[in-house]
Every structure is written in structure tokens, then in C-alpha cells.
Chain A
Amino acid sequence: QVQLQESGPGLVKPSQTLSLTCTVSGGSINSGSHYWSWIRQPAGKGLEWIGRISSSGSADYNPSLKSRVTISVDMSKNQFSLKLSSVTAADTAVYYCARVVAAAGMDVWGEGTTVTVSS
């Protein structure tokens, strides 16, 4: 049974880079039929898709965040990562990682991690 777990700093200073990692257990990240995605939810707001990456390293991003986002994959560690640069208070949110099954949506999610942007 595949499980995902987010990790990273819970507090980031304004203008710095937010870095999170999602560790995949119970299965291989090197699957041609899956994408790996990041989603966030600011307090009191809805879900916002950040981006996705394939096991081959091909990534797609939300146009509203594209200039600041990088998603990468590390096969050797069975992990994928999110970097969001030049953060502001508006980037304060719960960040989730998820597995995307082609044609079937996001079927496995991490429990989420709260990131606060504050000095």
C-alpha cells in the first residue's frame, strides 16, 4: 500500500525559498503510469494545484506560480520535492503531496504539512 509523507521546515522567512520533500513508501516512484503532484490549501480557502512531475522528470506547473516553482524527482531516494522561491505571507498554507493515476485522479495523498511564511 503506497503511502506519502511530506517533510520540511514549518517556518520560512519572506523572500526565501520554501523547500518540501515527499517520501513515497510501499511502492516505487519510478512508475510510468503515475505523476506526482503538489497541492496547497491556505487557511480558510480551497485547494490549489501547484504542479506535477512524471517519473521521467517532465514537469507541469500552475501558471500563477510557474515563475517561482520547481518540482523535481529523486529516484534513488524514492522522493519528489517542491521548491517555491521568493515566498510571501500569501504562500502560508498546508502543503500536500499526492500520487496521480493517469485517467483516475489523485488517489493517494500525504497527510499534509503546514508552512508559515513569517519573519
Chain B
Amino acid sequence: EIVLTQSPGTLSLSPGERATLSCRATQSISRNYLAWYQHKPGQAPRLLIYGASIRATGIPDRFSGSGSGTDFSLTISRLEPEDFAVYYCQQYVTSLYTFGQGTKLEIK
């Protein structure tokens, strides 16, 4: 089983600032089969990034993903008020999917 560890657990920033979230895997994720989701209370998770760096349909370009192997990151270039949420990474390279434990992005 691939374990994903996200850091930091909580990130406190202000609107307009840049956010960088990290996701580290216990083994290499081939084909960059790594996705990022945004999750707000009372809503369904929303796919932001797949293939480590490909924005899903309708996702603003302030969201970007990068990385390969075991280290991946999600960057939000300029935070908007609606971006404060919990973010999860997820691998789908094996038939046993796993999620990271999440990073909570909160308003400072």
C-alpha cells in the first residue's frame, strides 16, 4: 500500500498570498498518477489536478501541480477567499487507492 503524507497539517495564510502544499509518497508513483482535491464542509470533494500537473476542467489557473516520483506539490498562486478549504492528494497508480491525511488551508 502506498502511504501519502501531506504537509503541513494546517497552513494559515491571507488572501492574495501564495500557498504551497506538499504530498510525499512511500514509493514512487509511476505515470504521475497523483490527484489533488479541494474539500469544503458540506460539499463533495472537487478534483483540481490529475496526472500530478493537469488541471481538471474549469479549474482556475492559479492552481498548479508539480512533482514526480515520491514528491508532489500543489501551489495556489494568489489565494482567493473561496480557496480556504481542506486539500487532499490521492494516488491511483495501483488498484488500491489511497488519500493523504489532508492539509487544512485557513485564513490567517
B13 proximal to A (CB < 8 A)? no
Given known pairs A46-B88, A104-B50, A106-B35, the reply for A37 and B45 (CB within 8 Å) is no
Given known pairs A46-B101, A47-B102, A107-B56, the reply for A60 and B95 (CB within 8 Å) is yes
A positions within 8 Å CB-CB of B: 37, 39, 46-49, 52, 60, 62-63, 96, 98, 100-101, 103-107, 109-112
Q: In the complex, what residues of A have CB within 8 A of residue B95's CB?
A: 52, 60
Q: In the complex, what residues of B have CB within 8 A of residue A49's CB?
A: 90, 96-99
B99→A60 contact, CB < 8 A: no
8 A Cβ contacts from B8-59 to A: 31, 33, 35, 37, 39, 43-47, 50-51, 54, 56-57
A37→B44 contact, CB < 8 A: no
What are 10 A-to-B residue pairs whose CB atoms are below 8 Å? A37-B97, A46-B102, A47-B39, A47-B99, A104-B51, A104-B54, A104-B56, A105-B47, A105-B56, A109-B46
Q: In the complex, what residues of A have CB within 8 A of residue B45's CB?
A: 39, 47, 96, 98, 106, 109
